[in-house]
């Protein structure tokens, strides 16, 4: 079994973006627009998640695109603002472990190199994963098929043996195309019920 991190083991990502915008003192729509202009044809944070740009470089670009708005915080420290007050979904994690029933549980996440210490700080003691696939370390990200192939090899598993819990339908759809079982997370009770059903 594989789980995503942001939006699954944390509150919805939309809450994180709203928190960053509030810290910056700019409208959410203005911040998102600046992020999308910097991203171009890529996903909003794709260049960061693939390790193609540093967080500080990204922050300078977003600052420029925000004009005439001016951020009152350093967007080059996005990880600190993104994780401020962010809480770990221990209920879902514990439920996934119980549902796995001894099967390995991995973390398959699109994440940013500079966010590692923030993520580590919010994960409670006693929480762990049998394998971790971070996009910025492997150079591919969901929904690219290569990242699912890496995850399969990490557990020496066939696609039919893999299950993904993710908050984005595009990532779930890509997993299903490879033959995985994929469950889009909406709330803990629904997700855990569907995981238990899928695992029998």
Strands, E assignment, the chain: 2-3, 106-109, 131-134, 163-166, 181-184
Which residue do the tokens 């540093």 mark? 54
Torsion angles phi and psi, residue 37, rounded to 5: -70, -40
Is residue 163 within 8 Å of residue 181, measured between CB atoms?
yes
For residue 29, what is the enclosing H or E element? Answer: helix 28-39
Q: Which two tokens stand for residue 188?
A: 């803990």
Beta-carbon count within 10 A of 116 CB: 14
Is residue 132 within 8 Å of residue 183, measured between CB atoms?
no
Torsion, CA 97, CA 98, CA 104, CA 106, rounded to 10 = -20
Segment 182-196 shows an average pLDDT of 98
Instruction: Return mean pLDDT, the chain.
Output: 97
∠ CA 117-154-89, rounded to 5° = 45
Q: Which two tokens stand for residue 129?
A: 């994963």
pLDDT in tens, 18-70: 999 999 999 999 999 999 999 999 999 999 999 999 999 999 999 999 999 99
For residue 181, what is the enclosing H or E element? Answer: strand 181-184
Supply the pTM of this predicted model.
Answer: 0.94
pLDDT in tens, 148-166: 999 999 999 999 999 999 9
Which CATH class, in words, describes the domain spanning 2-11+87-199? Answer: alpha beta
List the domain boundaries for the chain: 2-11+87-199, 13-83
């Amino acid at each position: 079994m594989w789980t995503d991190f942001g939006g699954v083991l944390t509150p919805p990502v939309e809450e994180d973006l709203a928190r960053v915008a509030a810290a910056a003192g700019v409208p959410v729509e203005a911040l998102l627009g600046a992020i999308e202009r910097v991203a171009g044809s890529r996903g909003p944070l794709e260049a960061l998640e693939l390790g193609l740009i540093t967080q500080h470089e990204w922050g300078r670009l977003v600052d420029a695109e925000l004009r005439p708005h001016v951020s009152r915080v350093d967007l080059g420290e996005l990880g600190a603002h993104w994780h401020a007050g962010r809480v770990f979904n221990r209920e879902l994690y514990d439920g996934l472990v119980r549902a796995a029933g001894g099967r390995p549980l991995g973390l398959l996440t699109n994440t940013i190199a500079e966010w590692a210490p923030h993520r580590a700080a919010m994960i409670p003691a006693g929480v762990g994963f049998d394998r971790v696939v971070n996009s910025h370390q492997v150079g591919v990200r969901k929904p690219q098929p290569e990242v699912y192939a890496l995850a399969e090899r990490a557990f020496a598993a066939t696609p039919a043996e893999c299950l993904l819990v993710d908050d984005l339908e595009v990532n779930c759809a890509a997993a299903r195309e490879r033959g995985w079982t994929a469950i889009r997370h909406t709330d803990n009770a629904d997700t855990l019920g569907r995981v238990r059903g899928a695992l029998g």
